[in-house]
Amino acid sequence: MTMPPNDESPWKKLTQPKGNNSPKPGGTPAQDPKRRYFLIALAGLLVVLVFVSPFSKSSSSTTLPYSQFLADAKDHKVKTVTISNASGEITGTLTDGTSYSSIGPNPAIPEDVTALRLDGIDVKFNNPSGLSNYLPLLMYVALFGVLMFFVMRSARSQMNGMMSIGRSKAKLFNEDRPTTTFADVAGYDGVKQEISEVVEFLKTPGRYKAIGATIPKGVLLVGPPGTGKTLIARAVAGEAGVPFFSVSGSDFMEMFVGVGASRVRDLFQSARKQAPAIIFVDEIDSIGRKRGAGLGGGHDEREQTLNQMLSEMDGFDPSEGVVIIAATNRPDVLDQALLRPGRFDRQIVVPLPDYEERLPILQVHAKNKRLDDDVSLELVARGTPGMSGADLANLVNEAALHAVRRGAQTIGMEDFESARDRVLMGQKRDSTVLRDDDRERIAYHEGGHALLAYVLEKADPLHKITIIPRGMALGVTMTLPEEDRHIYSRQHIEDSLCMRMGGRVAELLIYGDLSTGASDDLQRNTELARRMVREWGMSKEIGPMAWGSNGQVFLGEDLVHTRDYSDETAKVIDDEVERILREQESRAIEVLTLHRRGLTSLAQALLENETIDGDVAARLIDEAHGDPVHPSGSKTVSSLRTTTPVPPTDNETSLSAGFEPPALPNA
């Protein structure tokens, strides 16, 4: 699958719906400090105008009593006089240039005015308009009104944030937004065909309604993580040409009871207003799990949300022209009422890609990479069975990073090989220093796994062995499948059990005792053997009967683990599991005893080189045995190169027999 477009593009901001239920009362975090500073400055200005301006007289102005003013005028000390008819205030300048002010009678005494003019003083009268008298008061009222407006607006925003908590958080994508299309989704032609029918129905409903076809109400995308379910939904948004609402299942849940159901109602109401429309719910298992858990009853918040969604999809008032697309990797936990036809009419499986699909996916991800001429993406696709689209994207990126680390200008096949080893086996732990006797024990442990993987007929082919600590393991033996398998035979499972016993048995043969390194091998073998007995009917004592694994508590099925068989049957199951494991241990002892020289050769080669590939291991085993173990050809999968004309497909890669570090003993 291609990498989705950057979510932080400007288009995301343009398509953000108005009225989004954002927990940011009063504005965005970037605006709140600016608004706060503005209000503080406005309040300060108001205080200054109210309390400071009345006293802001010029420091050079002299206040004179009225009698003194008249006496100075007679002494020819006054140059100009301005009398205010509104307040009786007298202002002007003295002969020495000093400003003065005085308060006289209002109205002014005519005799005094005549005397001033006779003394040669320029007398003027100031007649202010009515508006100017009230201008300071009006200014104070306006400033106070602006201040109260911002205060009330902030309070209203906070109240709206609290009251709008039940609104949907879905993001609306309009048709004019450029985004991912089906052309950007490599492979999965069948999935795109079924999805494109829904898109075409919304675009041209007349073609389908002419023959009586009705639009599917729901499409459920099911598949392992990383297979591109969300990316396919984004491609639908780019192809639909109709309003597309995208929301995650976790967006419905909140700490307040009833919020989830309210958001579901708001989402469908918004979609109905813009019908035809598409609603995409990612990770729907977070709200669509089975009801009846007994952990809260009918008032459980998740159960109320699910009930509301069931009602909106196909209830008393069904939605017309609204299609819901959902994605999950846990279809087993979904409520059956949600999966029935009429709600989710189609369930589309998005599996792990096979070889024919991995190649175009790799080509898409390598499109902008600088590759060497010797790089063959066909070989990389053959050598990456079981990888999802996200794994392949990570593989190409890891190869590019490895090329940069080694100082190369282009990406070569060695970079892809190193990237694959890192993805499958883990990062090297160069800081881990092992003692010589520990390294030797690990070498024999991994050699036992590798020898059995090569000798046993039905085991997966051997790829690489290393005693360099990687990930959580101190050593790793890696095998890869060589052909397409959808079912596994009993012999293949038994060979896998025997191969995992190789490390434990090799230590027992060489040292005569055991270590904690086989803990993971024993755990995985016990689980696999128990499934053989309980689920797959591969035990003669149990016969054609199967009991599934115990229901998990989080599914709401059982609060206490129960079983549907008696204690006697449980003892038979335990005995059969023990018998299978002991038989494979005896078989491993027999094979390793026969090829002990090959085991020693592998251990010595690992101590010298630390890492050897499958071809080298096969040659050492054949030389120690004296004859080729497999006359028809070596059963190995080595570096990224052509090994077989049959391309491997979507089987799981086996990281067999990692030597686990000792665990702390239980208290």
Which residues are known to be catalytic?
446
- The Cα–Cα gap between 103 and 632 comes to 125
Q: How far, rounded to the nearest angstrom, does the alpha carbon of residue 564 sit from its chain's CA centroid? A: 39
Determine the angle formed by the axes of helices 567-594 and 502-511, rounding to 10 degrees.
60
Count of alpha carbons within 13 angstroms of residue 292, beta-carbon side: 8
Q: Which two tokens stand for residue 635?
A: 């059963």
CB pairs under 8 A, 24+ apart, for 336-341? 336/290, 337/291, 337/310, 338/284, 338/288, 338/306, 338/309, 338/310, 339/220
Q: How far, rounded to the nearest angstrom, does the alpha carbon of residue 129 sit from its chain's CA centroid? A: 69
Q: Which two tokens stand for residue 594?
A: 């026969």
Find the distance separating the first CA and the last CA of the chain, reported in whole Å: 48
Q: Which two tokens stand for residue 317?
A: 């008032």
- The Cα–Cα gap between 387 and 425 comes to 14
- Please give the full DSSP string across 210-258, using - where no structure is assigned: TTT----SEEEEE--TTSSHHHHHHHHHHHH-S-EEEEEGGGG--SSTT
The CA–CA distances, whole Å, from 249 to 168, 283, 319 equal: 11, 5, 20
- The Cα–Cα gap between 97 and 117 comes to 19
- The Cα–Cα gap between 517 and 53 comes to 87
